[in-house]
Amino acid sequence: MTRLTVDGVYQHIRGVCFKNGPPGTVGAETEWFVLDAADPAAHVPTARPRALVEAAGPPPNGSKITYEPGGQLELSSLPAPGMAALHKALAADIRHVGEALAGGGLVLAGHGVDPVRPPVFQADHPRYVCMRRYFVSGGFADAGTAMMCSTASVQVCLDIGADPADAGRRWRLAHALGPVLVAAFANSPLHGGRRTGLRSTRQAIWTALDPSRTLPVHDPGALGGSGDPAEAWTRYALDAPVMVVRTPSGEWAADPGMTFREWLGKGEPDLRDLTYHLSTLFPPVRPRGWLELRMIDALPEPYWPVPVAVATALLDDPRAAAAAEEAAEPVAGLWAESARYGLTDPALAAAARACFTAALEALPRLGAAELVPLVDEYARRYVERGRSPADDPPPSREVAGGVRNAAARKAAGNQQKTDAQA
């Protein structure tokens, strides 16, 4: 394949990652922890859900099923022509998978972080093995393992924009809304069976990772800025360390010790290498030919559609977008505050209330009036009260089991040390 140059990287990112087109298409990826209904604190080997899901056949609406390194099950919808169609299709596919798992005594659980079970690495694909080695070599072993094995999210996928100006506006708004979405949907206050002091422990885990590939690309200090998002993403990609390379023998090697820009200087990478490198960058807003919003904690039934509906309304409806820009500007960049305080922070709470009001008004205009009752229910239960699911009482049965299991593991470890010393 033809070797890349810096200009070639710019051309690819501008033409592929930021391909313009009229907004309206919506997609979503929902990640779920798989629990044993009889023992929610027990680890479930990935082979169990795989067998049950494969026996049930593919989801009726074509969602792709994959498994994360810790066994989290992910359903990625097909692109849909609007929020209403997306909700109908993905809800049916989630129901299909849930029924298949129920036949084997398993259930899907929506949490941003596994609340009780410690991370267990179950993946054997070279990508994930090398990813784990990269995080270990970079000093991010604990956060990397927790991210891969113990976190789950709802990811919203929306169009880039009708033209470069529209793409720039949507890019800046998506970044500015990030802290509001983190706070409003925070659902990971527990880790290892204990409260962490955070509403979104998932967001904090991602923040603790390699900042060259997980920090936001855009600094939304001023929503009215005129920066070029394609330029910003290109710089971000060029300056990020290479996580994994394929050797001449076809093997995978982790952490080659250079940025992508430095690799280009050696004249080695091609377009396939660039595409793979971009897939190893994890900012909260990632351009992939669409905007992928990655900052939202996984939510349980029935609420997983709410962040998809709210984010879609705020970016796709012009009136809602104008209201969201005004509401989000005072809190743009408050990523750490949103993870720690959620909607107990007065400024974030005010921004969330304004954004939910705008979204509720916009959904009928977008042909998704049937989602208004669910979004309104969520707003009344949480947003209007300055709360998120993180402020609900913990799932006591899971937590108790997790604490017992942790105590048993600690006791077993202490006994092993005693035996070794003897």
Tell me: the pLDDT tens digits for 129-184? Answer: 888 999 998 899 999 999 999 999 999 999 999 999 999 999 999 999 999 999 99
- Least confidently predicted of 79-88, 212-221, 370-379: 212-221
Instruction: Quick: pLDDT tens for 87-115.
Output: 999 999 999 999 999 999 999 999 999 99
Q: Is the pLDDT of residue 338 over 70?
A: yes
Average pLDDT across the chain, whole number: 91
Q: Is the pLDDT of residue 351 over 90?
A: yes
Question: Cα torsion at 201, 124, 304, 87 (round to 10°)?
Answer: 150
Q: Tell me the torsion sign for CA atoms 353, 195, 394, 108.
A: positive
Q: Which CATH class is domain 6-417?
A: alpha beta
Identify the helix (H) or strand (E) that includes residue 316. helix 305-316
Query: What pTM was computed for the model?
Result: 0.91
Per-residue pLDDT, averaged over 388-399, amounts to 77
The percentage of the chain sitting over the pLDDT mark of 70, rounded to a whole number, equals 91
Per-residue pLDDT, averaged over 212-219, amounts to 87
Q: How far apart are CA 209 and CA 132, in angstroms?
A: 12
Q: b/e per residue, 263-273, with b = 16+ CB within 10 A?
A: bbeeeebeeeb
Yes or no: say if 223 and 110 are a contact pair by the CB < 8 Å rule: no
Q: How far apart are CA 303 and CA 184, in angstroms?
A: 12
Higher pLDDT, 208 or 220: 208
* Residues pairing with 366 in the sheet: none
At residue 87, the pLDDT reads: 98
At residue 248, the pLDDT reads: 76
Q: Is 198 left (phi over 0), alpha (psi -120 to 50) or beta?
A: beta
Helices then strands, counting H and E runs in the chain, come out as: 17, 11
At residue 264, the pLDDT reads: 94
At residue 251, the pLDDT reads: 77
CA atoms within 13 A on the CB side of 63: 27
Q: Is the pLDDT of residue 212 over 80?
A: yes
Q: Categorize the per-residue pLDDT at 118 as very low, low, confident or very high, splitting at 50, 70 and 90.
A: very high
Per-residue pLDDT, averaged over 344-362, amounts to 98
Q: Residue ranges of the domains in the chain?
A: 6-417
At residue 1, the pLDDT reads: 57
Q: Categorize the per-residue pLDDT at 219 as very low, low, confident or very high, splitting at 50, 70 and 90.
A: low
Single-letter code of the amino acid located at 124: D
At residue 58, the pLDDT reads: 97
Q: Categorize the per-residue pLDDT at 395 as very low, low, confident or very high, splitting at 50, 70 and 90.
A: low
At residue 410, the pLDDT reads: 43
| Highest mean pLDDT pick, 102-111, 240-249, 259-268, 407-416 | 102-111
Instruction: Quick: pLDDT tens for 48-66.
Output: 999 999 999 999 999 999 9
Per-residue pLDDT, averaged over 227-251, amounts to 89
At residue 407, the pLDDT reads: 41
Q: Is the pLDDT of residue 413 over 70?
A: no
